[in-house]
Each structure stands twice: as structure tokens, then as C-alpha cells.
Amino acid sequence: MAEKPIAAGKSSFDLIDPEKVFAELRLQPDTVFLDVACGVGNYAVAAAEFIGPRGVIHAVDLWEEGIETLRERADEMGLSRIHADVGDVSARLPVEDGTVDVVLMATVLHDLVVDGTAEGTLREIVRALKPKGRLVIIEFDKIDSEPGPPKAIRLSPGEVEEVVAPFGFGEEHITPVGPTNYLISFMNLSG
């Protein structure tokens, strides 16, 4: 079995306001949604409510146990449109080129930056996204607070923009989505 990734088992889902997040995601009944580094898939399962039978949810994580948990939950709930895959999000996402409408990275970008794998992940996201597709990132405010990573590795909205802008993303807006979390959305301007 693969080594457990750094933040495996931790989810920001209980720290955020789901109504605010899903209003920002703007999922439609035919949306193709990708949850990058999904863990046990809390966001993917919640997204199923907004995505109809013509929509698809891809959920990818390196953590095998988390993906297995998500598969079991999806089966129990009859959510056949959730496709959960074990995979290295910085190497190759298991989706076709230009097929994804919305990508979510929930409290994972800071870990990818620390690991030096953010560039590979963002390259893969650009490959997977449709032109004008959206990248939505949730991160922790750059403050000392619990829970969450140390302040030193947290990313401010400006730092997030610096990381993603070279890949052809234009910022849409920033909104608070929890006591210590913000959401920043981008549009894929390439293609």
C-alpha cells in the first residue's frame, strides 16, 4: 500500500459554509466536476446534489483508503456519476483533455507548493479544463489558527494568484467561506 499523503484523512468540509462554497462553484445539472486531492470525497458527495444524471464527478486522490471510502459511500448512496480514482494529481489526472467545467482544490494547494508538485498539478488541470472552465481554490487564511497547517505554509490570496496565474488563469473573485477559510475562483483563459 502507498504511503499515506501528508494531509490524508483531514477535510476542510466541516470548517466551511457549504452553501457559500456551492453557490461559488455554480454547478449545473450537466457539469463535469473534478475534485483534486479529494480525500474521502466530502465535496464530491455534496456536489452530487447539484449535478444531474448528465453530469459527472471525478474525484482523485493519492490516498487509497480515502478513495475506497468514497467508492463505498457513493455505492451506498447510489451515486453512480461519481468516478473515484487513486492517482497522483501532479502526474496525470484520469480525465480527457478539455472535458472539465469546474475544478475544486480544497485546502490542498499549500501542500502541493510545499511538496514542489503544484506546477505538475496545475499543468494537468489546464489540460483537463474546457476553455473558460473554472478553477476554485479553498485555502486557510494566512493567520495563526487551529485547525489547519502552520501559518508559514498557508497561502494568502495574492500568493495563490502568483502560483496559478502563469498557467493562464484569471482571477474572478475572493470570498470568505468559513471562520478561517477563503475561496478564490479563477477562469481558464487559455484555449
- Are 21 and 105 contacting, i.e. CB atoms less than 8 angstroms apart? no
Residue 1: band (very low, low, confident or very high) from pLDDT cuts 50, 70, 90: very low
Strand order in the sheet with 169-178: 82-86, 56-61, 32-36, 100-106, 129-140, 181-188, 169-178
Q: Where are the domains of the chain?
A: 27-188
Listed in sequence order, the residues at least 6 apart from 117 whose beta carbon sits closer than 8 Å to its beta carbon are: 89, 90
Model confidence at 127: pLDDT above 70: yes
Task: Give me the pLDDT at residue 2, please.
Answer: 44
Task: Give me the pLDDT at residue 4, please.
Answer: 47
Residue among 154, 82, 163, 161 at smallest CA distance from 121: 163
Model confidence at 190: pLDDT above 80: no
Residue of 158 and 5 predicted with greater confidence: 158
pLDDT tens sequence across 63-105: 999 999 999 999 999 999 999 999 999 999 999 999 999 999 9
Q: Which CATH architecture describes the domain 27-188?
A: 3-Layer(aba) Sandwich (3.40)
- Are 167 and 183 contacting, i.e. CB atoms less than 8 angstroms apart? no
Q: Residue range 28-45: average pLDDT?
A: 96
CA distance 57 to 79: 10
Burial tier of 191 (Cβ tally within 10 Å: 0-12, 13-18, 19+): exposed
Do the strands 56-61 and 129-140 form a parallel or antiparallel pair, or are they unpaired? unpaired
CA distance 29 to 53: 7
Residue of 157 and 5 predicted with greater confidence: 157
Q: Residue range 168-178: average pLDDT?
A: 94
**φ, ψ at 57 (rounded to 5°):** -120, 120
Task: Give me the pLDDT at residue 10, please.
Answer: 59
Task: For the chain, give the mean pLDDT.
Answer: 92
Q: Residue range 98-118: average pLDDT?
A: 96
